[in-house]
Amino acid sequence: MPIRHTIPMPRPPHRRRAHARSSDLERYAGLFAERTQVMRSSAMRDLMAVTARPDVISLAGGLPDTSTFPPTAFAAQMTRIAQESAAEALQYGPTEGFRETVDCIVEVMGAEGMLPDPEDVIVTTGGQQAIDLLCKALVDPGDAVICEAPTYPGAIPVFCSYQAETIQIECDGDGMRIDELELALERLDQEGRRPKFIYSVPTFQNPAGVTMSLERRRRLVELARSRELLVVEDNPYGLLRFGGEALPPLYQLDGGDFVIYVGTFSKILSPGIRLGWAVTPPPVMEKVVLGKQAADLCTSTLTQYFVREYFAEGNWRQYIESLIEIYRGRRDAMVEALEHYFPAQATWTEPDGGLFIWATLPPYIDTSDLLAKALRENVAFVPGQAAYVDGRGRNSMRLNFSAGDEGEIREGIRRIGKTIAEQVELYSALTGEQPAAPVPSKPRETSEAENVLPFRKTGEGGGA
């Protein structure tokens, strides 16, 4: 994720280590664990490095807007901590997190109709650590983990680093296809295997922006119960709903027997405080706590104190309301711009909440290459490939609407639309095909790219 601002500071005198020579690298290479071999394409990394240039309108990040958090309130809360509990706030804390933080978490989950037992909650260093700790507790190399296709791009490196075999199940406008999931489970049955868990972002999914329908939620929970499978529900965006009716989280439908819940303060308060949590059944919690001890002993005490102060003021829901107003306007601006500037062959999701829109282009456009072209116009997005483990998603892209203002969003979409239009026109010149009637030029079997198209153009994600 690009950090746009760094604080200029005088550099202390320091020694920089002599860079490794290649023979040194060879020596270390023999020491690297096998899991480090699973690395993201370096070409992609280099492209993403360019998206951080300050003159680029980046629709690539997933940054929530933190610019409207009142600085005076922030100052007052931190001052109070310094004056009243400096020694404690600067000390280690319990591995599971402070009870007061858990109370805040219970309050947040309550706002979506969930009633977790506080004993089942562990405070983590962001939701990301919760995913990591769950893998640490559950996944051996070669184990199957199931997730959506596309899935949260940040989950892929976690699954890879635990050497999971990641199986991705198609999504459509109603979220993960449960019929496809059942087929995958049957295939695993035949091999005598079962997945360690099914990872899902059912609400305003990252990256697709779709929401799993109520019917599918029920089926998923029933499936988990009848097959005694764990589901990991990652729900960072549930409270950021701009339209449609709220659906019950999987955790609520299940009651917490087979659904493990991952939450975060990142999107409702601040990602900089690195505070998230997991809610798990007690036997899993025991292992997760051991893993957390090994990883970092405890989550930041200081930021837990900050959350406690912040919730004590009782305005947290108003702040979310204000974010929702901002994001609704930005989503509307993005959708309008997409309608105006993207070619007729493009489709996209229209989410009722969250931070992302997923757009899909004609199959002959590779969005990694398109990104290179778009960067010349100083605009960036995440190529769809980042959301798949197997190279699919090449003609899709993730567009973020939370980080930039409406003007930037319109201009960004205009520039991306221009680069797409050029490619569509060129393809038409190359193949003689009319742009309005896109027909795949390949006579061979349906390309994988087409299999990941089925998102509807209108936002139906919230419907039951």
Partner 1 sequence: MKVAVLKGGRSLERGVSLRSGARVEDALGRLGHEVLPLEADGDLVKRLTAGEPDVAFVAMHGMGGEDGTAQELLEILGIPFTGPGVAACARCIDKVMAKHELRSSGIPTPDWFAFNETAFRELGAADALAGLEERLGFPLVVKPSRGGSALGVKFAENWFDVPEALISAFSYDDRVLLERFVDGRELAVSVLGSEPLPIVEAIPNSGDSYDFEARYEIGRTSFVCPAALGKDEAASVTETALAAYEALGCSGFSRVDLILAADGPQVLEVNAIPGLTDTSLLPQAAEAAGMSFEQLVERILDLALTPANA
Binding site for partner 1 (CB under 8 A): 16, 18-23, 25, 29, 36-37, 39, 41-43, 45-47, 49-50, 53, 364-366, 369-370, 372-373, 375, 419, 423, 425-427, 429-432, 441-444
- For the bound state, the minimum distance from the C-beta of residue 10 to partner 1, rounded and expressed in Å, comes to 15
Partners of 200 in the β-ladder: 233
- For the bound state, the minimum distance from the C-beta of residue 160 to partner 1, rounded and expressed in Å, comes to 12
Nearer to partner 1, 108 or 370 (CB): 370
- For the bound state, the minimum distance from the C-beta of residue 48 to partner 1, rounded and expressed in Å, comes to 8
Nearer to partner 1, 115 or 430 (CB): 430
- For the bound state, the minimum distance from the C-beta of residue 227 to partner 1, rounded and expressed in Å, comes to 36
Nearer to partner 1, 12 or 192 (CB): 12
Q: CA nearest 114: which of 269, 297, 238, 16?
A: 238
Nearer to partner 1, 315 or 447 (CB): 447
CA–CA separation, 38 and 390 (whole Å): 12
Nearer to partner 1, 14 or 140 (CB): 14
**Token digits of residue 383:** 């190529």
Nearer to partner 1, 299 or 367 (CB): 367
Question: Taken in order 241, 247, 252, 257, is the CA torsion positive or negative?
Answer: negative
At position 191, the amino acid (one-letter code) is E
At position 373, the amino acid (one-letter code) is K
Nearer to partner 1, 294 or 429 (CB): 429
- For the bound state, the minimum distance from the C-beta of residue 373 to partner 1, rounded and expressed in Å, comes to 4
The Cβ of residue 27 has, within 10 Å, a number of other Cβ atoms equal to 11
- For the bound state, the minimum distance from the C-beta of residue 422 to partner 1, rounded and expressed in Å, comes to 8
SS3 sequence of the chain: CCCCCCCCCCCCCCCCCCCCCHHHHHHHHCCCCHHHHCCCCHHHHHHHHHCCCCCCEECCCCCCCCCCCCHHHHHHHHHHHHHHHHHHHCCCCCCCCCHHHHHHHHHHHHCCCCCCCHHHEEEECHHHHHHHHHHHHHCCCCCEEEEEECCCCCHHHHHHHCCCEEEEEEEECCEECHHHHHHHHHHHHHCCCCCCEEEECCCCCCCCCCCCCHHHHHHHHHHHHHHCCCEEEECCCCCCECCCCCCCCHHHHHCCCCEEEEEECCCCCCCCCCCEEEECCHHHHHHHHHHHHHHHCCCCHHHHHHHHHHHHCCCHHHHHHHHHHHHHHHHHHHHHHHHHHCCCCCEECCCCECCEEEEECCCCCCHHHHHHHHHHCCEECEEHHHHCCCCCCCCEEEEECCCCCHHHHHHHHHHHHHHHHHHHHHHHHHHCCCCCCCCCCCCCCCCHHHHCCCCCCCCCCCCC
Nearer to partner 1, 23 or 72 (CB): 23
Q: Cis omega (within 30 of 0) on the bond before 116?
A: no
- For the bound state, the minimum distance from the C-beta of residue 18 to partner 1, rounded and expressed in Å, comes to 7
Nearer to partner 1, 19 or 67 (CB): 19
- For the bound state, the minimum distance from the C-beta of residue 384 to partner 1, rounded and expressed in Å, comes to 15
Nearer to partner 1, 313 or 425 (CB): 425
- For the bound state, the minimum distance from the C-beta of residue 438 to partner 1, rounded and expressed in Å, comes to 12
- For the bound state, the minimum distance from the C-beta of residue 47 to partner 1, rounded and expressed in Å, comes to 6
Nearer to partner 1, 42 or 67 (CB): 42
- For the bound state, the minimum distance from the C-beta of residue 3 to partner 1, rounded and expressed in Å, comes to 15
